[in-house]
Amino acid sequence: MGLSLPNAENWQDYGLAYVPAVDAFRSGFLPYVSFYYPYPPLFLYALTAFSYLPLPSWSSALPLVAADALTVIPVYLIARELVSEQRALMISILFVLAPTNLYYVDYLWLNPSLTTLFLMTSIYFLIKRHYGLSALALALSIGFKQTALLALPVVLLVMWGVGVRRREPLKYLLLVASICLLFSLPYIVVSPTLYLDSVFRVPFGLWPTQVPQNYFQIGVGAGTLVTFDTSNWITSMWQLVASGINSPVTLALPVFIFLIPSAYSWIYNSSYVTDVLWLGLLGGYAYLMYVMRKKPSIDRSDSLNYVLYALLLLFAFYPLYKYYAIGLIPIFVLLVRSKKGAVGFVGFNLVFLLMPRYLASWVLLVAFVWLLRRPLVRRMKARPRSSVELQPA
């Protein structure tokens, strides 16, 4: 791959992490137990299945690219439920041509497309009130990448809000849990601690030493095309506070680069910064759940909006690589209602792709606030005025 866009995060995970993991699995190494594996097992299974095709090493990328292409189907079907046929077609074309997806999935072969396909399929079945199929699709989405788990409470509250029988959300939850347990076998039985800690990220030191040589090489160098097109000063500060250019970014990172003296850069890696960010994420998510629970009625578009809000919160406050945001693109495009909105969607894709990565979390947080501006204004205007008036003294 010769193309490397400045500031785009040109990670070579496919060749340096995914393929070695597939080779290790095919050689008899057990993921989570013999070597660290950061995703649920369905992702490894999908790539491994395609690796048996009589094709070069890129055969394992076929499910990634195919999933991205197939996501246009639930995008179109959801759009058709919300807008006219003509606008649904326009939305579908916008998604197919989204620069972030074309670059990160179809060119670099990074990982969000499989979980995104099944998440969007789950939302479509939720809108159509086919709850069993929605639960199946959501469980499969979680099986490809654990970020989809954040959508589960949102879906349950949507079901509650549309007035289904009380047993339905419980049945939905049990079905998702059962499927997740099924694809977690045998790892959750053989070594439950390592399996659960793998999926929710722990240090590499807990794993045995028999990891295949050169299994995990992500980093600057080793054949990667990572570029960091900034001044030497910012690069050195990044190294100082983030322990390497290839570290994930958070809201705190640009603050420490530009505002905190280097003598105090150690604070960035302290537990206090992490605790504050986690409190922001959990607090925002709890408030989102509260607002959903208090809403008198929930319509078909609400499920889409609330899943978007939940994912925006996660990606804004959780350590982020820019390509994670690919999961937001099919939901963003469904918000387009005009030519102006279409231009804004393409512009957001290009800006997010080419901007310095330390701004990514802030841009997503701003997008979250921007999307909430109208609902918040409506809520404030809808508040009943106090019936008690001030009397003259």
Residue 65: pLDDT band with limits 50, 70, 90? very high
Query: Under a CB-based contact definition with an 8 Å cutoff, are residues 138 and 177 in contact?
Result: no
Query: Under a CB-based contact definition with an 8 Å cutoff, are residues 112 and 71 in contact?
Result: no
Asked if the model's pLDDT at residue 320 lies above 60, the reply is: yes
Instruction: Judge whether 256 lies within some domain.
Output: no
Instruction: Judge whether 388 lies within some domain.
Output: no
How many domains are contained in the chain?
A: 1
Asked if the model's pLDDT at residue 344 lies above 50, the reply is: yes
Six token digits for residue 302: 């609400």
pLDDT digits (tens, 9 = 90+) for 273-305: 877 888 888 888 888 887 777 776 677 677 788
Instruction: Judge whether 223 lies within some domain.
Output: no
Average pLDDT over residues 361-366: 91
pLDDT digits (tens, 9 = 90+) for 200-211: 765 445 555 555
Instruction: Judge whether 387 lies within some domain.
Output: no
Q: Give the residue from 165, 149, 67, 163 showing the smallest Cα distance to 109.
A: 67
Instruction: Judge whether 196 lies within some domain.
Output: yes
Average pLDDT over residues 164-182: 90
Instruction: Judge whether 384 lies within some domain.
Output: no
Instruction: Judge whether 211 lies within some domain.
Output: no
- Number of helices (H), then strands (E), belonging to the chain: the values are 20, 0
Instruction: Judge whether 266 lies within some domain.
Output: no
pLDDT at 275: 79
What is this structure's pTM?
Answer: 0.86
DSSP 40-94: -HHHHHHHHHHHTSSS-GGGGGHHHHHHHHHTHHHHHHHHHHHS-HHHHHHHHHH
Task: Identify the domain containing residue 129 by its residue range.
Answer: 13-202+273-379
pLDDT at 385: 45
